[in-house]
Amino acid sequence: MQTLNITGKLSEEDYAFLREDNLPNLQELNLRKADIQIIPKKAFYEWNFEYGFFKTGRIILPESLTSVEDSAFYDSMTKVELT
């Protein structure tokens, strides 16, 4: 499994980088230890993992998360795991 573990804070540019499919082999985005209180609006908008012909993968949300803004995961084809 191709996993990206993120710690620290994410900027708007970081979310944009992730949405632009710059990591085609990524199957898991682990934000468990990231310093994120709010998932911003459209952060993972239309965000999908490509694996063969199937869409798969997961995002592990951070322990520090307190809220998710409008449409943060709109039309995303991925599993979201709460911690």
Q: Is the pTM of this model over 0.95?
A: no
Residues 15-30: pLDDT tens digits? 888 877 777 788 889 9
Beta strands in 1-83 (DSSP E): 3-5, 28-30, 38-39, 50-51, 54-55, 58-60, 67-68, 79-81
Taking alpha carbons only, the member of 27, 71, 74 closest to residue 47 is 74
Q: What is the pLDDT of residue 69?
A: 94
